[in-house]
Amino acid sequence: MACSTCRCLQEHTRATLTTMNSSVASPPPPGPQPNFVNPPNLLNQVIAATVSVQAITLLFILIRLYENIYARLLRPEDIFSYTAWLAFIAQATLICINTTHGIARHIGDVPVPTLIAGSRRYSYIFICYTISGGFAKATIFMQLKRIFTSPRIRDAVYWVITVSLALNAVAYTTFLFLYVFTCWPREKIWTPTVPGRCMDSNRLNMAIGGLNTLSDVEAFLVPMWAVWKLRFDVRKKVSILAVFAVGGL
């Protein structure tokens, strides 16, 4: 009797897995049929874009590392910059893994198990993205504070940069916790059938996108404002702003 029950359970499990493997994450539009063998995908484009961005980032990281070694000086913003870079590498690695495992294709060509595994990795991608963005923005504002302010003179520039640094730290820390606990239990993030509760991930993604845009604009405008307050002639101010513009690119 026990053997018969075990055999039934094994057959049921095998049938369930077979059904999942043959099920698509979302039905394709009328006409096309699901293609699990060799579907069109964006694998090459995603890999090329990821490698290109990482190569550019590595160039600037090496320049910073050379400066640290040459000056024999490691500032807090340097540590923050390297932390942001490591989180960015982790994010890019997870994106490449997802891409090579079948996520960079039409949703109608993605089997359910692939979507579940990909959704789990995406939950970690957003966490790495938030860590990288938070430390990168902290690096920028700490550098601006070191360049444009003095501990002995707490003028408007000092307070704007200090408050911006604090607000960005609070905002990115908040978003980090929201991404970690988007669903409870966390398994519900990649398996919607698991009992639990979730936040609206679309609104969360739009909110952090808005935060990134706002902080990018702020990080660009603050040095422009600080430079314009310097007692230089207009030509020299424009030259300094041009340097910051190139650095921003």
pLDDT for 123: 94
Query: What is the DSSP pairing of strand 197-198 with strand 183-184?
Result: antiparallel
- Rounded Cα distance between 190 and 25, Å, is 12
pLDDT band at 28 (very low <50, low <70, confident <90, very high): low
Q: Could you tell me the sign of the dihedral formed by the alpha carbons of 89, 138, 180, 214, in that order?
A: negative
pLDDT for 248: 52
Asked whether the predicted pLDDT for residue 7 surpasses 50, the reply is no
- Rounded Cα distance between 236 and 218, Å, is 22
Q: Of 95-104, 137-146, 172-181, where does mean pLDDT reach its minimum? A: 95-104
Q: Which residues contact 19 (CB under 8 A, 6 or more apart)?
A: none
Asked whether the predicted pLDDT for residue 219 surpasses 90, the reply is no
Average pLDDT over residues 77-93: 96
131 vs 202: which has the higher pLDDT? 131
pLDDT for 9: 29
pLDDT digits (tens, 9 = 90+) for 149-190: 888 888 888 999 999 999 999 999 999 999 999 999 999 999
Q: Name the residue among 166, 148, 168 with its Cα closest to residue 212.
A: 168
Query: Across the chain, what does the average pLDDT equal?
Result: 83
- Rounded Cα distance between 120 and 188, Å, is 9
- Rounded Cα distance between 105 and 39, Å, is 7
Looking at this protein, which amino acid is placed at residue 74?
L
pLDDT for 239: 75
pLDDT for 17: 38
Q: What is the separation of C-alpha 179 from the centre of its chain, rounded to a whole number of angstroms?
A: 11
- Note whether 25 and 107 are within 8 A (CB): yes
- Rounded Cα distance between 244 and 249, Å, is 9
pLDDT for 6: 35
Tokens of 177: 């916790």
Q: Which residues pair with residue 105 across a beta bridge?
A: 41
Q: Which residues of 135-149 are buried (b: 16+ CB within 10 A; e: fewer)?
A: bbbbbbbbbbbeebb
Tokens of 40: 């069109």
Domain spans of the chain? 40-248
Q: Strands (DSSP E) along 59-196, which ranges? A: 183-184
Q: Name the residue among 135, 139, 133 with its Cα closest to residue 74.
A: 139
9 vs 180: which has the higher pLDDT? 180
Q: Could you tell me the sign of the dihedral formed by the alpha carbons of 233, 234, 236, 240, in that order?
A: positive
pLDDT for 3: 41
pLDDT for 15: 38
